[in-house]
Amino acid sequence: MVKCHIQRYKCKLCNNIFYEKDTFSNPKETLSKESVFIILEKLKLSNATFESVARDLHISRQNVIDVFDRYVDYSPGKLPDILSFDEKHINKNMTDNVYLFIIVDFKSIEIYDIVHSRHKNVLERYFSKIPLEDRQKVKYITMDMWETYLDIAKRYFKNAIIAIDSFHVMRMINNAMNSVRISTMQKFNLKTENIDDNHPYYYLLKKYRYYFVSEFDDLSSKRFYNRKLKMWFDKHSLLKYLLDIDPKLEKAYYLTARYREFNKTTSHEKALEEFEILLDDFYYSNLSPFFEVFKTLSTWKEYIINSFITIPDALTKPEKKNDIPKPRRLSSGAIEGINAIIDKININGNGYSNFWRFKNRVIYVINKNVPILNTPKKKTKNNI
């Protein structure tokens, strides 16, 4: 700790009192500039809390909160030309709603802004305040299959191409696959307390349920011994054993695998033709869950096809050192990583009650260059 004693002077002519210049801290601050800088640097880490920073620096938690509130005040700039919409579930102590609306810059993978609610009337008020000229420059918007987001995008971003995130489509198809698996599995359920004592088919369909929704190439190639069946398996033999249980199960698996392959490999130019073939197969599958998928995909077809558009100046991060970065497809995939950081900040902070502080903290951690105010804000009653 450094104590700075400021000399006080009194003019002999006018009796005015003045102080020598303080180079260690800002006016009316009790903490040095260096301490402020250290606090703000530590708060850049997602696993840091106001409490942990205070403990490290031997100051009060409120001191740390005051520094953050006064020096960090994020304001969004111009709209990026590609936006990603998503929501994040939070505790209701922070706002009157359980979902925050997250707007992400697709190219930079940084947060553009966070809105306290995803309700349509709130989003209408928010976007109506952004100048029409700025909104017209937005080229693409990615989102999930929620009508409110589609209505908002079509109303306020008339020049934007809308794309449905492929992750949400694949999740819906995996859910259909699981419905068929569970329906088949229950036909063999002996309702025993221990799964090992149940029917072999029930046991297998439950124990190896991940086989039906995983990329086959990602499954382990090692042989293994199953004690219940007293057999050796590899992934090829086990999958065949599983699919031979019921023709409907086999059909559901191959529909799911074909869509997964389509989603992974198809170009935008070929997507519509191949998508139509898949829709027909879903329709004529005689599987109720896949007929429901057919209806949903048919409704959102235009926007799903748009998700195969690649953006030349938005590149993937190479997985290996010598890999060549590839143009990224339109998706909301980057938001999943952002949501994980938001969860960490919220959980480590034991739940925030102040939305504006939480918003500033999240954006300060995730975005690379959030400015620190040269002139800190004055303390207000809201800084609690």
What residues does 163 pair with on adjacent strands?
142
Instruction: Write down the pLDDT at residue 5.
Output: 62
Are 107 and 82 contacting, i.e. CB atoms less than 8 angstroms apart? yes
Nearest CA-CA partner of 166 in 315, 326, 306, 331: 331
pTM of the model: 0.86
Spatial distance between the Cα atoms of 33 and 36, rounded to a whole number of angstroms: 5
C-alpha pair distances (Å), 188 with each of 177, 183, 184 = 18, 10, 7
Average pLDDT over residues 324-348: 87
Confidence of residue 381 (pLDDT cuts 50, 70, 90): very low
* Helices 166-186, 288-299: crossing angle, 10 deg rounding: 170
Instruction: Select from 373, 365, 366, 384 the least CA-distant residue to 73.
Output: 373
Per-residue model confidence (pLDDT) at position 379: 60
Taking only the tens place, the pLDDT of each residue in 163-215 is: 999 999 999 999 999 999 999 999 999 999 999 999 999 999 999 999 999 99
Task: Tell me the per-residue pLDDT of 204-231, one tens digit each, with 9 for 90 and over.
Answer: 999 999 999 999 999 999 999 999 999 9
Rounded distance between C-alpha atoms, residue 310 and residue 313, angstroms:
9
Distance CA 266, CA 272 (A): 10
pLDDT number for residue 28? 59
Q: Lowest mean pLDDT: which of 186-195, 319-328, 340-349?
A: 319-328
Report pLDDT digits (tens) over 45-59: 999 999 999 999 999
**pLDDT above 70: residue 345:** yes
Neighbours of 154 (CB within 10 A): 12
140-143/82-89 β-pairing:
parallel
* Tokens 């809105």, residue located: 115
pLDDT at 384 over 50: no
CATH code at 25-74+367-384: 1.10.10
Strand partners, 114: 102
Architecture of domain 82-165+325-337: 2-Layer Sandwich (3.30)
User: Is 90 exceeded by the pLDDT of residue 27?
Assistant: no
Residue with tokens 């349509």: 120
pLDDT band at 352 (very low <50, low <70, confident <90, very high): confident
Mean pLDDT of the residues in the chain: 90
pLDDT, average across residues 276-303? 97
